[in-house]
């Protein structure tokens, strides 16, 4: 099968905000991601906010990657270096494969906005059970950088020469 598809295939995307302080009204990063996904024709399958707890994050994402109707998970928050930041430790063990280039490209794109502070970002991504999982920092600016610089194109089945849609169940639901 070709790595890009000629027609747009909407993806079902679960959005997870990792935060000890935000609720849906104050979750500007989760709201931004949901708005962008919807504007591009994707479906926000579910949106959830959990505290920065390894087992709560793992439980939420495990449920989504086990569901063949969920094609993508985007999380925001918990990727820094504070004592409470544990998204990488929680979610990396769930991956079948890591997408190493995602974190590298994210930090490269962030350099022009935040300078050398980008080295403190532990943004990362992977694939688990035909579900792509992207883990972003918690700031709305970081979510905007990831969306505009990577996710918008990589979640579009028409993007060539390749995109992540062909690695998910979205192509099976067309």
Q: Is residue 7 part of a domain?
A: no
Q: Is residue 107 part of a domain?
A: yes
* CA angle (84 as vertex; 65, 66 as ends), nearest 5: 5
Q: Would the pLDDT of 94 be above 90?
A: yes
Number of domains, the chain = 1
Q: Is residue 2 part of a domain?
A: no
Tell me the sheet residues that pair with 135. 75, 124
Q: Is residue 166 part of a domain?
A: yes
Q: Would the pLDDT of 3 be above 70?
A: no
Q: How confident is the model at residue 173 (pLDDT cuts 50, 70, 90)?
A: low
Question: CATH number for the domain including 43?
Answer: 3.40.980.10
Q: Would the pLDDT of 2 be above 60?
A: no
Alpha-carbon span 56 to 50, nearest angstrom: 7
Q: Supply the range of the domain harboring residue 82.
A: 12-173
Name the strand (E) or helix (H) holding 126: strand 124-128
pLDDT per position as a tens digit, 50-62: 999 999 999 999 9
Q: Is residue 3 part of a domain?
A: no
Q: Is residue 21 part of a domain?
A: yes
Q: How confident is the model at residue 169 (pLDDT cuts 50, 70, 90)?
A: confident
Residue 1: what pLDDT? Answer: 43
């Amino acid at each position: 099968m070709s790595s890009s598809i000629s027609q747009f295939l909407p993806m079902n995307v679960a959005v997870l905000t990792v935060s000890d302080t935000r609720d849906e009204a104050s979750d500007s990063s989760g709201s931004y991601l949901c708005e962008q996904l919807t504007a591009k024709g994707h479906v926000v399958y579910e949106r959830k906010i959990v505290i920065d707890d390894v087992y709560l994050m793992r439980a939420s994402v495990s449920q989504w990657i086990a569901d063949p109707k969920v094609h993508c998970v985007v999380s925001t928050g918990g990727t820094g270096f504070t004592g409470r930041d544990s998204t990488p430790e929680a979610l990396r063990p769930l991956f079948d494969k890591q997408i190493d280039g995602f974190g590298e490209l994210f930090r490269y794109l962030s350099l022009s906005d935040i300078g050398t502070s980008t080295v403190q970002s532990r943004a990362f991504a992977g694939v688990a059970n035909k579900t792509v999982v992207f883990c972003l920092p918690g700031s709305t600016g970081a979510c905007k950088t990831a969306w505009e610089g990577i996710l918008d194109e990589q979640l579009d089945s028409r993007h060539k020469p390749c995109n992540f849609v062909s690695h998910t169940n979205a192509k099976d639901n067309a």
